Amino acid sequence: MEQAPVPTADPITVEVVDLMARLVGLFHREYEEAAAARSLTGAQAKVLALLRRGPMPMRHIAQTLSCEPSNVTGIVDRLEGRGFVTREADPQDRRVKLVAATDSGLSASTELRESLNFAREPLAALDAAERAQLRDLLRRMLDSSTPA
């Protein structure tokens, strides 16, 4: 039987991976800073961002963040303590706690999101057509690995 064809690390792929690593570093730092400017931590900001689509069980948050549920407990505790989210029991299943963003939490998250859009100088180096190209490439990469 053939060995699974090791995706021979061609030079372009290697370089793209490297560039992405740098991009990830940049992005991550800026996100962290933008959150800190609103005295949120990165993890808190991520949870708030998740809740923009609507209330969500703790477990679902943990899955999306790829971390242990016990970790989420603490993060939500702190967000709740500052009035950014609420916990309410799910009427359908009383084991489940639905976490929902408050108005205050929602607007904090929206502010942060918008501050990111124009803080993103790296994108300024590209013109409209190139940004569209980039968008298409990224879309295809993500759609292939995140069926959702």
Site of interaction with its own copies (CB under 8 A): 6-7, 9-10, 12-17, 19-24, 26-29, 31, 49, 66, 114, 116-118, 120-126, 128, 130-135, 137-146
Task: Give the residue with the Cβ less far from its own copies, 1 or 12.
Answer: 12
Task: Give the residue with the Cβ less far from DNA, 57 or 115.
Answer: 57
The answer to whether 86 and 102 are in contact (CB under 8 A) is yes
Q: How far is CA 18 from CA 7, 15, 100, 134, in A?
A: 16, 5, 38, 17
Task: Give the residue with the Cβ less far from DNA, 13 or 73.
Answer: 73
Structure tokens belonging to residue 28: 């991550």
What does the binding site for DNA look like in residue numbers (CB under 7 A)?
Answer: 41-44, 57-60, 62, 65-78, 87, 93-97
> Which one of DNA, its own copies, none is in contact with 57 (Cβ closer than 5 to 8 A by kind)?
DNA
Strand order through the sheet with 85-89? 56-57, 97-101, 85-89
Least distance in Å: CB of 89 to its own copies? 29
- What's the CA gap between 8 and 30, in Å, rounded? 33
